[in-house]
């Protein structure tokens, strides 16, 4: 959608609006055509664009790695096999350096998280106008192509990691050991009366520390990608301000796109690394 068709404020709001499906004010179900209708839908609304792109990119990840596995050869490897082997070796080395326990789930989980988030982040390098314009011509009112700019995705992944942290904390340490970890540190005492005194402060501090893990995972990824998308949108607005600002916007867009490649990769790596570290902490027993 060309920026000259809308005011700058309307253009920005349009590009930040998800394709939302839910129950409208009149009781019918349908797609929202504005922020007011999205507000009417409430909590149970579904972001169709986020769902489609995240699932589609997950299928693409599985397809490419499955294809590389089927075509793997002991001879001279092709480009896809080289790339997949490099990614697997990189993730394997990272997990070995960060995870001290023994769990066959951690390395595949780390690989899935890194590649999936990287692919979702990489969508931010597409033009902010081209795909939404094509969708608009097909009758789709809104379309956001970067799933990680939607907090539903980042919090969904973070809560899945949080569930694994709780599961392995209880499985490895036992329910008593896990509760003891929450109530007997960081303030420690030798006598039971003093342990009871420190119980509530310890429980408060450790609970905050535990809950902060999924929140920090989700907000870090969402905040960085949302800010990156916003900068691309603001640069796109400059194209409608004449040839001078348009030329400057072209240079800014190129520079930001090159720099954003680093952000796209780094955010996927950070989410993956912190997941491995948190799971390692869940596997450690404190005595």
pTM: 0.89
pLDDT at 12: 83
Q: What is the mean pLDDT of residues 88-103?
A: 91
Confidence label for 248 from pLDDT (cuts 50, 70 and 90): confident
pLDDT at 5: 60
User: pLDDT digits over 152-170, tens only?
Assistant: 999 999 999 999 999 999 9
Say if residue 244 is exposed, middle or buried (CB neighbours under 10 Å; 0-12, 13-18, 19+). Answer: exposed
Active site residues: 216, 220, 224
Residue 199 has pLDDT above 90, yes or no: no
pLDDT for 106 equals: 95
At residue 198, the 3 state secondary structure works out as helix
Half-sphere exposure of 32 (CA within 13 A, CB side): 26
Sign of torsion, CA 155 1 258 93? positive
The pLDDT value given to residue 286 = 60
Q: What is the mean pLDDT of residues 126-132?
A: 84
Share above pLDDT 90 across residues of the chain, in percent, rounded to a whole number: 46
Average pLDDT over residues 132-153: 90
> How does residue 279 score in pLDDT terms, banded at 50, 70 and 90?
very high
The pLDDT tens digits of the residues spanning 222-231 come to 999 999 999 8
Residue 1 pLDDT > 80, yes or no?
Answer: no
- Mutual angle of helices 192-238 and 243-283, in 10-degree steps: 160
């Amino acid at each position: 959608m060309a920026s000259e068709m809308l005011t700058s404020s309307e253009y920005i709001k349009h590009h930040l609006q998800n394709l939302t499906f839910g129950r409208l004010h009149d009781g019918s179900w349908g797609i929202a055509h504005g922020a007011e209708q999205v507000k009417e839908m409430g909590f149970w609304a579904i972001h169709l664009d986020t769902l489609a792109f995240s699932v589609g990119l997950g299928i693409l990840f599985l397809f490419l790695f499955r294809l590389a596995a089927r075509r793997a050869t002991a001879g001279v490897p092709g480009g896809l096999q080289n790339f997949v082997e490099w990614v697997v070796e990189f993730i394997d080395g990272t997990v070995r350096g960060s995870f001290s326990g023994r769990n066959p789930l951690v390395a595949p989980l780390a690989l899935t998280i890194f590649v999936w988030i990287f692919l979702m982040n990489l969508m931010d390098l597409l033009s902010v106008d081209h795909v939404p314009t094509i969708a608009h011509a097909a009758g789709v009112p809104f379309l956001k192509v970067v799933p990680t700019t939607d907090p539903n995705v980042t919090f969904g992944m973070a809560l899945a990691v949080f569930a694994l942290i709780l599961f392995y904390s209880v499985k490895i340490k036992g329910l008593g050991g896990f509760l003891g970890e929450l109530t007997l540190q960081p303030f420690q005492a030798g006598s039971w009366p003093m342990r009871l005194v420190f119980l509530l402060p310890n429980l408060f501090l450790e609970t905050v520390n535990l809950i902060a893990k999924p929140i920090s995972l989700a907000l870090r990824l969402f905040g960085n990608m949302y800010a990156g998308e916003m900068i691309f949108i603001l640069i796109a607005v400059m194209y409608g301000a004449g040839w001078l600002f348009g030329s400057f916007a072209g240079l800014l867009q190129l520079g930001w796109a090159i720099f954003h490649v680093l952000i796209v990769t780094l955010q996927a790596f950070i989410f993956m690394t912190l997941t491995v570290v948190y799971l390692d902490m869940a596997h450690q027993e404190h005595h």
